[in-house]
Chains A and B, each alone.
Chain A
């Protein structure tokens, strides 16, 4: 509370309340409270008329088809990506040995689904697919347990590196084994790390890729964007 001005300059009001530091603090606290209340009222819960924030979602004008590859799902065995037809899907790529980013991503998507389940009928909801790019460590069974920890409706898929690459490459999604840990050279090192893209791809019911959700992801913004996308599509 540094204020060098003489007190008289501040006393313009009719009430000549002495402008002590405590009064100033009180005034600032009150001002902050008023501003926060106002901001709170200005943010609408979901404004579906505004355009989608380009930081949240990038529409792909060419609508490339999702490459048809065969992956593996626990309990189902071999699954072709062609079977994603008929519903909207969000695909994210990661691995279960990733303790910082992947769990946060999956929790965010679970929150987003919570929002969407309140707003949309079941048939309009997207299916969330976590694709493991680390088949060397992630079996389909492990992956299934991993994704179900976040949401009972999440799907886990993995497959051969060549198929995974064919699936993700056209959308600029890549990953790589990192060689910068101090475990290089150790034989059978199971603690290797991967660098991986955090972009989520949105696949429409015709298995065409409609757009990308770049990181960072926010549950609420993704839920609002998704509703706008499918609304636009329906018209």
Chain B
């Protein structure tokens, strides 16, 4: 056993793992009727004078068919696009993503350095704690309006 770490520490680790294990096993709420679930939707708090915002979220497809995200819309911005950040040879760029596929029984994470909802041109002040409604349009005629919370991640 490790010499200077007390057994209680290891016990603590194991206990937290056990708790996590049981939590994940029990936490199986029924999938939404649309077959698609969107969680952890957020927008990075913009620094003053920032001209664009990025929205992130987690998408989960409970159905047996792929679902494609085609477009995003939001009031108060003069342009909203689905983007993918790409880093090639130390060069960063953003590209318009036309169809973002969420695989059957799979999930997709919008995150830094990858997919984001690009919100461009806004007049109002946007601050931490605000909620921005964004409508997402999918290929199966599904439209979902999700409230994105404005926050600074730690």
Contacts and interface: CB of A to CB of B under 8 A. Distances in A.
A229 B51 CA distance: 36
> Sorted from nearest, which 8 A-B pairs have the closest CB atoms?
A195-B93, A149-B47, A33-B13, A99-B54, A142-B49, A97-B51, A145-B48, A33-B14
A30 interface: yes
A97 B50 contact: yes
A180 B97 CA distance: 11
Range class of the B interface residue count: 35 or more
A97 B92 contact: no
Kindly name the residue among B5, B78, B93 whose own CB sees the greatest number of chain A CB atoms within 10 A.
B93
Interface stretch (A9-17, A100-108, A220-228): A100-108
Contact of B90 (A34, A36, A214): A214
A180 B95 contact: yes
9 contacts: A29-B17, A37-B5, A100-B85, A103-B50, A104-B113, A143-B49, A195-B94, A197-B92, A216-B87
Contact of A181 (B48, B51, B96): B96
Contacts of A142: 49
A182 B96 contact: yes
B85 A101 contact: yes
A90 interface: no
Contact of B2 (A26, A38, A96, A103): A38
Interface of B: 2, 5, 9-10, 13-14, 17-18, 21, 44, 46-54, 78-79, 81, 83, 85, 87, 90-96, 112-113, 116, 118-121
Given A101-B113, A190-B121, A196-B91, A137 B51 contact: yes
A32 B17 contact: yes
Contacts of A178: 93-94
Contact of B94 (A25, A33, A100, A137): A100
B50 A99 contact: yes
Interface residues of A, number: 46
A174 B90 CA distance: 10
A36 B47 contact: no
Kindly name the residue among B54, B83, B90 whose own CB sees the greatest number of chain A CB atoms within 10 A.
B90
A198 interface: yes
Kindly name the residue among B13, B44, B116, B121 whose own CB sees the greatest number of chain A CB atoms within 10 A.
B13
Given A100-B112, A150-B47, A215-B87, A191 B120 contact: yes
Contact of B93 (A34, A36, A193): A193
Interface of A: 25-26, 29-30, 32-34, 36-38, 41, 96-101, 103-104, 137, 142-143, 145-147, 149-150, 172, 174, 178, 180-183, 190-191, 193-199, 214-216
Contacts of B21: 25, 29
B90 A30 contact: no
Nearest to B95: A180
B121 A103 contact: no
Given A96-B51, A191-B121, A199 B13 contact: no
A128 B23 CA distance: 44
A151 B7 CA distance: 42
Given A99-B53, A181-B81, A182-B96, 13 more contacts: A29-B17, A36-B13, A41-B5, A97-B51, A103-B44, A103-B47, A104-B113, A180-B95, A180-B96, A183-B79, A195-B91, A196-B91, A199-B90
Contacts of B49: 96, 142-143, 145-146
Contacts of B78: 191
Kindly name the residue among B47, B83, B113 whose own CB sees the greatest number of chain A CB atoms within 10 A.
B47
Contact of B79 (A30, A146, A150, A191): A191
B23 to A, nearest CB: 13
